[in-house]
Amino acid sequence: MASLKEIKSRITSVNSTMKITSAMKMVASAKLRKAQKNSEAFIPYQQKLESMLCNFLSSEENFTTPFAEQRKLEKVAIVVLSSNSSLCGAFNSNVIKELDKTLVSYKNLGKENILLFPIGKKVCDYCRKAGYDIHDLNYLIDSPQYASTIEFADRLMNLFLEKKVDRIELIYQHSKSTSTQQLYHQCFLPMSLTVESLTKNAADYLVEPTKTLVLQDLLPKVLRLKIYVALLDSYAAEQAARTVAMQVATDNANDLLQELTIQYNKSRQQAITNELLDIIGGSQS
């Protein structure tokens, strides 16, 4: 049985840990509210822009774009988003598991024909251990900025247009709610221009100068926004996962603290009882 000193030391340690996890939960909650506010302010614009694109494409049956070119799959690029820090539950491990599954499916292409663009220290560490050459893009995830996102998105589009890769995939976590994160694995390029992917009730827009010229400007913008929304979504999902993880850790620490307090009181009571018995026994002798 642990001594009173050991139990008291554990109580102090657990109490300190509970204060830390509680503070981290409060910080994550504040960051989550800000991230959700940014997403809610930006996503409607992105959705409306995509809706306009679909309406245009549905009325331009003969429109073609290099961004929709289907090629034989020989080289693939994978953009995967994680966090720069841990203590966010299974957020990073779920992303890494999906990446690992994807890499196995493309094993026949050879490692030299798979380009990885990991964003976040956790997935970067995994890619380095797997033997892939990667670039430092971690600055994109901590505070997503549209200006820096444009550079990265343009880089991806140029890789596809220059035929250096035949397909670009996107893996990230979507914040469905504070307690639920949903893993997304999407095809970024080539774009799908099939009839099934377009709206059937196109709005009748009057466009100047021509729909073709507008589409040529609209397509890259939609693709840039897709990357930016993924960054915003992943950051919000990270903070949501950390908020829940720290809440669970705080609750567990509180439960453990109560158990240790009861154990301490019982041990103290037993020690006092033993002392009293010794005193009574000594006086009787």
- Residue among 82, 88, 81, 80 at smallest CA distance from 31: 88
Q: Note the pLDDT of residue 70.
A: 87
- Mean predicted confidence (pLDDT) in 47-65: 72
Range of the domain at 191: 27-244
Q: Note the pLDDT of residue 196.
A: 47
Residue 99's pLDDT band, with cuts at 50, 70 and 90, is: very high
- Coil, helix or strand for 71? coil
- Mean predicted confidence (pLDDT) in 207-217: 75
Residue 131 lies in a domain: yes
- Mean predicted confidence (pLDDT) in 6-19: 90
Q: Note the pLDDT of residue 93.
A: 93
Q: Note the pLDDT of residue 134.
A: 84
Element (H, E) at 155: helix 146-161
Residue 196 lies in a domain: yes
Q: Note the pLDDT of residue 59.
A: 63
Model confidence pLDDT, tens digit, residues 214-261: 777 888 888 999 999 999 999 999 999 999 999 999 999 999 999 988
Residue 16 lies in a domain: no
Q: What is the chain's mean pLDDT, rounded?
A: 85
Residue 194 lies in a domain: yes
Q: Note the pLDDT of residue 195.
A: 47
Could you give the angle at which helices 211-284 and 4-59 cross, rounded to 10 degrees?
170
Q: Note the pLDDT of residue 197.
A: 47
CA dihedral sign, ordered 113, 117, 122, 125: positive
Residue 260 lies in a domain: no
Residue 121 lies in a domain: yes
Model confidence pLDDT, tens digit, residues 129-179: 988 888 778 888 888 888 889 999 999 999 999 999 999 999 999 888 888
Q: How many structural domains is the chain composed of?
A: 1
Tell me the CATH number at 115: 3.40.1380.10
Residue 117 lies in a domain: yes
- Mean predicted confidence (pLDDT) in 19-46: 89
Amino acid (one-letter) located at 105 = S
Q: Which of 148-157, 194-203, 222-231, 271-280 is the least confident region?
A: 194-203
Residue 21 lies in a domain: no
Range from 80-84, 177-181, 198-202 that averages highest in pLDDT = 80-84
Q: Which of 10-14, 46-50, 91-95, 185-189 is the least confident region?
A: 46-50
